[in-house]
Amino acid sequence: MTEVNQGIAQATRVPASRFFVFALLAVAGTAADLLSKQWVFAWRGLPQELPEPWWLVEPYIGIETAVNQGALFGLGQGKGWLFAILSIVASIGICIWLFVFKASISKWLTVAMGLVMGGIFGNLYDRLAIPNMPAEFRGGVRDWILFKYQDYVWPNFNIADSLLVVGAIMLAIHSVFLQAKEPSLVERS
């Protein structure tokens, strides 16, 4: 290998710490989501078992169990199998983009996609019907965080959803503000 080719290979090598950060965020995010769902559903039961939400800040922020068998804002109800397939495809695509196409050279993108992966895995666990839920809830995603303001009630969500949103916002920020400041792979060589 010539010196120029060695320089290019070193300039585009993904630091080992990026694999660790990505995996740590994905595993920690998934664990936080699944443990919180398990705890809340054990405490509050299935949807509508308790008539009133438990309020952390009454009447704005509360805990109320719900099961969403669709996607964002309940769209696509009953198509959990489709969202499970899309989650698996997205997970594979993220890993390829980060580590084969070397987007993980960016710390920002590594963190953003680690959060997204934690969110994907947390909701995928539910979609694959791993928590032994009654038939009418099977394949749905367990949600429990409730926001309400006057007559408006935000659809219940969970930690996985929060991770997905934060990761998506970070990706948008990167696209609009940070991407132009990062040298491309060609410029690094």
Active site residues: 143, 161
pLDDT for 184 equals: 54
Alpha helix stretches (DSSP H) within the chain: 3-11, 16-44, 80-95, 107-127, 159-173, 185-188
The pLDDT of residue 73 is 67
On average, the pLDDT of the chain sits at 88
pLDDT of 7: 42
CB-based contacts of 74, cutoff 8 Å, min separation 6:
68, 155
Q: Given a cut of 60, is residue 105 above it in pLDDT?
A: yes
pLDDT at site 182? 63
Range of the domain at 54: 3-188
The band of 11, judged by pLDDT with boundaries at 50, 70 and 90, is: low
Provide the domain count of the chain: 1
The string of pLDDT tens digits covering residues 159-188 is 999 999 999 999 999 999 887 666 554 444
pLDDT tens digits, one per residue of 137-162: 988 999 999 999 999 999 999 999 99
81 vs 177: CA distance, rounded Å: 36
pTM of the model: 0.86
Average pLDDT over residues 48-77: 89
Percent of all residues in the chain with a pLDDT value above 90, rounded to a whole number: 72
* CA 47-48-52 angle, 5° bins: 115
pLDDT, position 72: 73
The distance of Cα 79 from the centroid of its chain, to the nearest Å, equals 19
Read off the pLDDT of residues 65-91 as tens digits, 9 standing for 90 and up: 999 988 776 677 777 888 999 999 999
Q: What is the pLDDT of residue 54?
A: 96
Which is more confident, 15 or 78?
Answer: 15
Q: How large a percentage of the chain has pLDDT more than 70? A: 88
Query: Token pair for residue 17?
Result: 């710490």
Instruction: Specify whether the CB–CB gap between 128 and 84 falls below 8 A.
Output: yes
